[in-house]
Structure 1
Amino acid sequence: MPRLHSLELLPDDEGQEAVRAQWQALADAGLPSQLDHRGATNAPHVSVVEAEALPDAALDVARARLGGLLPVTALVGGVLLLGEGRVTLARPVQLADDVVRRVLAVRVQVPERRHLGWVPHLTLARRLERADVPRALEVLAGLDADRDASLELRLTALRRWDPDAGEVHDL
C-alpha cells in the first residue's frame, strides 16, 4: 500500500500529553501502542483526509475553512475498534457541527481519498490482536478512573504530512 499524504488536526500541548499518557499505559502493559511508531513526526492527531496525493484545492480549502477556525474544542471519550482481524484501537472525537461541515468541505476536494466516510478519532494502537482487546480496555479504564470519563481537547494546529518528503508542514 502506498504511503498516504494527510491533513491532520493536532491538540495543544496538554492534549498531546493526555493522549501520549494513554499510549504509554498501553506500552507499559506490553500492548501495541502508537509509541511503537518511532518517526519524528509521530504525534497525536485527528486525520481530516488521507490520500495518495492532496490536490492544491484541498489545501486551499483547508487553510480557508479550518485554519482560521482554530482553536476548536473536541470531546474525547469511549473507545473505537476499527478494522478486521488485527484492529486499530482509538478514541472517538466529537466536534461541533460547524467544524464537521468544514472538514467535509475539505474532504470533497480529495476524490481519491482513502476513506469515503469520516470517523474523527485519535489512534491509540494499531494492529492490536482481538484477543488483547479486553486487556487494552482494562488499561484504558484504569486511566479513565483517574479522570473524568471524557476528555476535552483543544485542537490548535492544522498540518500536512508529506510522506514523499518525510516532512510535516503547518498550514
Structure 2
Amino acid sequence: MGQPKHVPRLHALELVPDARGQDLVRRDWQALHDAGLPSQLDHRAPTNAPHVTVVAAADLPDAAIDVAKARLGSLLPVRARAAGVLLLGGERLTVARALDIDDDVVRRVLAVRVQVPDRQHVGWIPHVTLARRLDRADAQRAIDVLGYADVELTLTALRRWDPDRGRVTTVVESRP
C-alpha cells in the first residue's frame, strides 16, 4: 500500500449573502440536520458561513484578489435566485442549491478564476453548499426535506478564506 495522498487545504474567494440570505441558507442546513442527514450546520468552525465559492486553490495569487476586488466588488450587491437542488459527487454526494446569476457576474467570476492556474475545478457552477458526504441512498430524502421553493439571495460581500492562518477577511463589501 502506498502513502496516503496529501490534500492541501484550499484558500478561497467567496461571495457572501446578506443576513437575510444567510438565514435562508441556515434554514436549509437546520432542516437537513433535523432530518438526521448531513448538514453544513454540523461544520462547527467559527468561519463556517453560507457562501458561493468564486475560486479555491492551494494558493491564491495577489493578482486574483486584485481582479476579484475590481471586477466583482464594483457589482455588489448581486442578486442570485436559488433555483433547484444540485447533487454533486460519486458515492458520497454534496447537496447544494443551484444559483441563477446574471451573465455579467459569471463573466467577471471567470476573469478572476483564470488568474488562479491551479484552481480546484475547471469551469464554475454557482451554488451554495448545504451538505457534504450524503449517502446516495439518502438523496431523495434530502430533496424532499429541502422542498422546491426558489429563494432570492443578495450577495453583499467578497471574502477570502486563508486556511493557513485560520482566518476569513473581507475583501470588499457593498454599502447600503
- TM-score interval w.r.t. the shorter chain? over 0.9
**Aligned counterparts of 2:83 and 2:151: Cα–Cα separation in 1:** 6
Deviations, residues 74-98 of structure 1 (Å, cap 9, x unaligned): 0101110111110000010111011
> Unaligned regions of 5+ residues in structure 2, if any?
1-6, 172-176
DSSP-derived class of the 1:114 partner: coil
- In the other structure, the counterpart of 1:68 is 74
- Alpha-carbon distance in structure 2 between the residues aligned to 1:77 and 1:69: 21
Corresponding residue for 2:133?
Answer: 127
Aligned to 1:80: 86
1:167 correspondence with 2:167: yes
User: What residue number does 1:35 align with?
Assistant: 41
Decide which of 137, 142, 151 is 2:143's aligned counterpart: 137
| Equivalent in the alignment of 2:61 | 55
Q: Which amino acid aligns with 2:89?
A: G
Among 17, 20, 24, the alignment partner of 1:14 is 20
What is the distance in 2 between the residues matched to 1:64 and 1:138?
40
Q: How far is the alpha carbon of 1:134 from its aligned partner?
A: 1.2
Q: Write the distance in 2 (CA, Å) between the matches of 1:94 and 1:106.
A: 19
Q: Deviations over 1:2-46 (max 9, x none)?
A: 110000000000000000000000000000000110000000000
Judging by fraction of residues, say which structure has more strand.
2
Task: Name the CA distance, whole Å, in 1 between partners of 2:28 and 2:16.
Answer: 16
- RMSD of aligned residue pairs (Cα, Å): 0.7
Q: TM-score, normalised by structure 1?
A: 0.95
TM-score by length of 2: 0.92
Where does the alignment leave 5 or more consecutive residues of structure 1 unmatched? none
Identical aligned residues as a percent = 68
Report what 1:23 is aligned to.
29
Distance in 2 separating the partners of 1:95 and 1:140 = 21
Say how many residue pairs are matched. 165
